[in-house]
Amino acid sequence: MKQAFISMLDLQDKMNSKVHPEWQKQGYEWYRAIWTECAELMDHHGWKWWKKQTPDTHQIKLEIVDIWHFGLSILLASGKPSDQLADELESKWQSAGTTDNFLEAVEALAQDTLASKDFSVSLFCQLMELSNFPFVELYHQYVGKNVLNFFRQDNGYKEGTYHKVWHGKEDNEHLAEILASLDGTQDDLQDIVYQSLQSRYPL
């Protein structure tokens, strides 16, 4: 588990550095990104009592992965080395266990994030537990989304020239298909995912 944490922390640092080489000095409001993702997460689960809604399990997990990106960024912004942060994550990796209601768990994370401007590992683990999202799958999905983020940047995302829809499907859908064809244990998982995205992207 520790090595997986180190890998994800290093990948997140590289992604943030891709956006800005000195990202840790910019004072980015990562906490704001988390609570707004929480709102999107609730929409994918469904909360409106005046209409029929069915939880979208795939989208729920994607939103949780996005929250994880921002949570890792908050941790990295402390300036601590990834090895130390991995130890801290491993020691805190346990569900808060404060509720068995998914929507209340999402609100608890959003509320804590707004109040502390920090990232609660235990409340995040609670979301994973309530959505039946195992750690191995989180790692697999995280690496995939991190690679997609790199791919977007390499193809003009920041400049506004990137095309998010290819051949009638969003890039997230292409990523999901690619990940479904892999078992996540490949040593060169990042390279395989990147090359697969590249082969599908219309030039």
Last residue of a domain, one of 115, 131, 147: 131
- pTM comes to 0.86
How far is 133 from 163, CA to CA, in rounded Å? 30
- Res 173: pLDDT: 86
Query: 91 near 3, Cβ under 8 Å?
Result: no
- Res 185: pLDDT: 67
Query: 148 near 174, Cβ under 8 Å?
Result: no
**In Å, how far from its chain's centre is CA 178?**
17
State the CATH number of the domain containing residue 87.
Answer: 1.10.4010.10
Burial class (CB in 10 A: 0-12, 13-18, 19+), 43: middle
How far is 125 from 14, CA to CA, in rounded Å? 24
- Domain count for the chain, please give it: 2
Q: Which domain holds residue 147?
A: 134-203
- Any domain includes 87: yes
Secondary structure letter of residue 189 according to DSSP: H
Last residue of a domain, one of 102, 131, 160: 131
Query: 4 near 68, Cβ under 8 Å?
Result: no
How far is 25 from 94, CA to CA, in rounded Å? 31
- Any domain includes 5: no
Assess whether 90 and 110 both reside in one domain: yes
SS3 (DSSP) at 51: coil
Q: Compute the Cα dihedral for 19, 24, 25, 28 and give only its sign.
A: positive
- Res 188: pLDDT: 80
pLDDT tens for the chain, residues 1 to 203:
899 999 999 999 998 998 899 999 999 999 999 999 999 999 989 999 999 888 888 889 989 999 999 999 999 999 999 999 999 999 999 999 999 999 999 999 999 999 999 999 999 999 999 999 999 999 989 999 889 988 998 998 888 889 899 889 889 889 888 888 887 666 788 889 999 999 999 87
- Any domain includes 111: yes
- Res 184: pLDDT: 63
- Any domain includes 151: yes
- Res 134: pLDDT: 94
SS3 (DSSP) at 186: coil
- Res 202: pLDDT: 85
Assess whether 78 and 138 both reside in one domain: no
How far is 190 from 193, CA to CA, in rounded Å? 5
